[in-house]
Amino acid sequence: MYNPMLTRRRMLRNLAAAGATAAAGAAALAACSGGSGAKATKAGANYKPGSAGLKVKLGPEVEGVLYPDPFDSPRVRTFERFADGSKSFRVVGPTYPGLDYATNSFAQWLEKATGVKVQYDVVPGGEEGRPKINAMISSGNLPDAFLNGLNQYFTRSEVALYGQQGLFMPTDQLIDENCPEHLDLFKFRPELRPYLTAPDGKMYGFGYTSECYHCFSAGVRMWVDQEWLDKLGLEHPKTSDDLHAMLVAFRDRNPSGLSGTIPMSDARPSAIGGADGGGMINYLLSAFTYPAENYIDKQGDNLLFTPVQDSYREGLKWIRTLFAEKLIDPNAFTQTPAQLKGKLMNAKGPLVGAHYAYSTVVDFDPSPHSMFHKMAPLAPVTGPDGKAYIPWRHEPYASNGLVISSKCQDPVAMARWADAMIGVYGTLSQWQGPQGGKNNTFSWAAKGDKGIDGRQATWATKQVDPDQKNTGWWSYGPINNLVDVRHSQSADPAKSLEPTLYRFGRLYEPFAISKDRYFSEPIYTADQASQLSEVETNLANHLAQSTAQFCLGQLDINDDGAWQRYKEKFKQIGSEKYLQIQSDAMKASK
């Protein structure tokens, strides 16, 4: 199960190690170039972003494509072939079972459409491929480019680090002169360009954005058994008191009629934090306080550490009463997702009334009497002040989808190659396989087809022969997956999970924490990452242990002494240092 905080800690460890790798790589490049570094990196060194004019025109729209109104994204356009195939570029890319770049439908289409001939070197993404990537960087044996997708090889911080060391080429001038699709995308999302800009004021990559609307609040997404509510004649709760009453009814009136039922539960690992209470605890806390994923509540230029705030304690006091009244499964802190699923998919009927899931724990089954169709989204509940404080991701789901190295033989060709991919047609072809090929899996939607959000659809997924694999690249290159592109996929609510998850987002958005309180992850230096890596892990472990102990009554949340010791331990671990590093990085990234 995806765990953003564990992924983040791994990222920090990798960035800390990348400092030495970058230094070795820069030295290797300098040696290869007679001590002057790679001359290609000098291009655009003093360039002011936005100061050059486009040399390539934006292509015409594809006729006959339907859109919802409004459509908050660039439209589907064509582009002209611009290369003759006389040069062969070396590009490092990730893989998945069944992907063969030599015969892949999208790779073949991309070469024919652009004229760019590519030799693909396959290196697994993530931790598996990191030793090989590090060896390339430190030796200076760089390809022309890396397909980076959503941080397959490099985070924003690593791209900035390697770019400033001269290993990756600055891309602002390349984009301004050669990438009309990128510039069109930036018009719709002006925040993308600064988000991908390093502290030195330069971009070192090409765009990738994937706006998953339902993911913005997935860290606290709760489900409830609608059949249980209907049997007891209960409405969905709106306040913390209503939720308490619902759980009491589940406990005392047992709508399943089975033994061993529990009103509410969760599992580990959960979607938020290593073990800090997970989605269920943070959902409950949100009736009292802002349970930030990164433990930071941004108040202007001041950063507050959320787990030690008085409102956080009040939330824990309430949650403790729920545990004490046997309304929440005491195994929520220790059971696995598989064990929770077993309780929900029990052959005689579900044993849990409400539960957390990043997407869904039960099997998605489109049949009308399946367990999935008995579940319904559980909306946020307000607390004593009449509000809820739902964590909501306000920053872009963005990264450097492609980076070109200082050894790239033709940066303009690579820039235009990246731009071909980030257009909507290139994006859909990258996911689904291009139209016209035997492995094509998408078509344009017909009038009246409904998208994920219930509006006019733009595109539809076709039924795929199980033997027809090797169609697209998943999302390994630059893509434009803005919300309206994603939601314009034709979707039948009876057969697709996506409309239900979209409905979740709509339920949670009115309670979302304001954008000005959201701490957007900055770009870190290697030294900052080294310091954060250890302290953040220790903070999370202390929070995890203490949360479980307070909720289960092993520590008394009403004891001022116990609360004070809990707060002092955070200081001893380094909570103040943690906030200072984050503050410094935030200011440097502005």
pLDDT value at position 31?
56
Q: CA–CA separation, 166 vs 33, rounded Å?
A: 12
Parts of the chain with a pLDDT under 70: 1-13, 16-45, 270-278, 437-440, 463-468
pLDDT value at position 168?
98
By the 8 A CB rule, do 141 and 176 touch?
no
Q: CA–CA separation, 251 vs 567, rounded Å?
A: 34
Q: Which long-range contacts link 430-433 to residues 24+ away (Cβ below 8 Å)?
A: 430/106, 430/472, 430/473, 430/474, 430/475, 430/476, 430/477, 430/479, 431/472, 431/473, 431/474, 431/475, 431/479, 432/461, 432/471, 432/472, 433/105, 433/106, 433/471, 433/472
**Total count of residues recorded for the chain:** 590
pLDDT value at position 1?
32
Q: Report the candidate in 471, 447, 473, 470 with the shortest Cα–Cα distance to residue 460.
A: 447
Q: CA–CA separation, 400 vs 39, rounded Å?
A: 22
Q: CB-based contacts of 348: which residues, under 8 Å, 6+ apart? A: 258
Q: Encoding tokens for residue 535?
A: 């302290």
pLDDT value at position 358?
85
Q: Encoding tokens for residue 446?
A: 């017909």
pLDDT value at position 489?
97
First to last CA, the chain: 33
**What's the whole-model pTM score?**
0.91
pLDDT value at position 362?
85
Q: CA–CA separation, 258 vs 255, rounded Å?
A: 8
Q: CB-based contacts of 227: which residues, under 8 Å, 6+ apart? A: 255, 374
